[in-house]
Amino acid sequence: MIHINQVGYNPKGQKIAVVANVTTPDNQFVVKDQDTNICLQGQLSEPKFDPESGDTVAYADFSALEQEGTFYLAVGDTLSPSFSIKQGALAEVGDAVLKMLYYLRCGCELHSAHAGPYAHACCHTTPAERYDKPGTFIDATGGWHDAGDYGKYAGPGAVALAHLYLAYEFLPKGTFDRPLGIPESGNGVPDILNEARYELDFLLKCVDAQTGGVFHKITSRAFPGMIMPETDDLPLVASPISATATGASCAAFAMGARIFGAFDPAYAETLAQAAHKTYGWLTQNPSVAGFKNPPEIVTGEYGDDTDTDERFWAATAMWRLTGQASYTTDLQAHYTKLDKTRLGELGWADVAGLGVLELILGEHPAMGEQALTDLRNSAQTIHERVLAKGYFNGLASYHWGSNGAVMNHALLLTIASELAQNTDWLTSAKKMLDYLLGVNPLGISYITGFGSKQIMEPHHRPSLADGVKAPVPGMIAGGPNERRQDPPSKEFLPENLPPAKAFIDHWDSYATNEVTIYWNSPAVLPFYFFATLA
């Protein structure tokens, strides 16, 4: 089988296909156009065994082909899916990955003018009862549904916001001027920030007015059925305040206050006040137990026993917002306690790397150089894993949300490559995008709406219940998960299946085929970066 990026490549970029379990006497490959004309001929690399997939793989490097058009690659009688070579080949993917967040909006109608066949009525407009104060309700409307269900979680939402902020600040000015086709398009604000504001408005409602702490999540007590969001009438509950949710939200408010200052100073000031208020809660509550689901609440826990990284990230964001020395004192104290081996992980449970990026991009006079050294070390570790993998994904393990980890690493390597002027890291980041779009052991595109063989049954309630055959576009599936934590994985995937193939495109496989905001959000920066690369 030939595994290739099923969407396409930029003319001048590296182009490598993985040829798995295919042998030919001459060890040759050819690239042909739609008229079967040979456009390039080359030699396959020496084959090697990849234990994670169980495949014997060789590589076809066709980077020398810079001609634009539609092509396929052949090794003997084995043909690849077709692919394109054109400038901006990944632009549509970038737009779809970002607009996926719009489709997950809660508390508003999705009109057909913006959502097309995925339009639906307004949902989840009732107040949420505070679990810690029965009979007391808060307005928790708005924000994004976190994943395939209808819960909303402060910490993961804050992390997704950070990924969007990084994309907006790091990429060239004008990158996000192209309208996404959301209700706010054309209002003078880039749509990536319009979308971020929708989640920020929700996070502001999750701040307890009295204490400044942030409610960990807004969910029902149990997951709803596989129904449309507007038909979900289960009572909503605001779970208790947590340090992780408060720290992450504080950082999201502080970063937002900096960025929105150029567009809406009054809103930026609202965010700054929220950042100070939530940081005050962190200061007054230096030791807080990790969040655990209260009795009778069985929705996603997002339990995290370590809040040092959230406190560190909050302190770095507050320093960058205000420049005040007190935040430097705090962040330095937290920095000494961090697990530096986790700085390359930018997901909801490991946010220290987001703080490190704040120090570097903000050019902290005392900590910036140390942060850059640590970032380089993390980037090099990921890069070396990419080189060692048969399919270049850079993963240390195949766990729940492995594709999200791949995109976190791609984001980190894209930024680090520019900061350290290391083009090797950029090459590895691009290989990770190729992995999601077909250069993987299953030869599948893990992004809905893209590729000749793409996932069709994600664990996403609207995609199952809306009566539309194709799922909502632009969603990134969780990916291979060797732990098999759902019934379809246990039933249909053989126990001896190699870990890199432990995936099933099944609507009930929430451990491999669910979608989330924070698996999509880190993909925005690298996809837009490579879409605009010459």
DSSP 393-410: ---S---TTHHHHHHHHH
Instruction: Name the token pair of 144.
Output: 């994004």
Q: Is 149 a catalytic residue?
A: yes
Which of 95, 146, 149, 307 is the catalytic position?
149
Pairwise CA distance, residues 327 & 312, whole Å = 9
Q: What is the pLDDT of residue 267?
A: 98
Residues 6+ apart with CB under 8 A from 174: none
H/E run at residue 414 = helix 402-420
Question: Average pLDDT by consecutive 10-residue portion of the chain (534 residues)?
Answer: 97 96 92 96 96 98 97 97 96 98 98 98 98 97 98 98 98 95 98 98 98 98 97 98 98 98 98 98 95 96 96 98 97 96 95 98 96 97 97 97 98 96 96 98 98 98 97 98 96 96 98 98 98 83
Q: Is 514 a catalytic residue?
A: yes
- For residue 91, the tally of other CB atoms under 10 A from its CB is 16
pTM for the model stands at: 0.97
Name the residue with tokens 């992004």: 447
pLDDT tens-digit series, residues 369-419: 999 999 999 999 999 999 999 999 999 999 999 999 999 999 999 999 999
Name the residue with tokens 């804050």: 158
Pairwise CA distance, residues 321 & 271, whole Å = 11
First to last CA, the chain: 30
Q: What is the pLDDT of residue 329?
A: 97
- CATH number, domain 91-442+513-532: 1.50.10.10
Region of 162 (left: φ > 0; alpha: ψ -120 to 50; beta: rest) is alpha
Q: Is 495 a catalytic residue?
A: no
Instruction: Name the token pair of 206.
Output: 């999750």
Which of 459, 460, 482, 506 is the catalytic position?
459
- The length of the chain in residues reads 534
Which of 191, 208, 345, 505 is the catalytic position?
505
Q: What is the pLDDT of residue 25?
A: 87
Q: What is the pLDDT of residue 534?
A: 63
Task: Specify the domain boundaries for CATH 2.60.40.10 within the chain.
Answer: 2-85
Residues 6+ apart with CB under 8 A from 248: 154, 155, 158, 159, 310, 313, 314, 348, 351
Q: What is the pLDDT of residue 24?
A: 86
Task: Please name the CATH architecture into which domain 2-85 falls.
Answer: Sandwich (2.60)
CB 498 within 8 A of CB 58: no
Q: Which residues are registered as beta bridge partners of 61?
A: 16
Closest CA to 477 of 439, 441, 497, 449: 449
Task: Specify the domain boundaries for CATH 1.50.10.10 within the chain.
Answer: 91-442+513-532
User: On the CB side of 416, how many CA atoms lie within 13 Å of its CA?
Assistant: 30
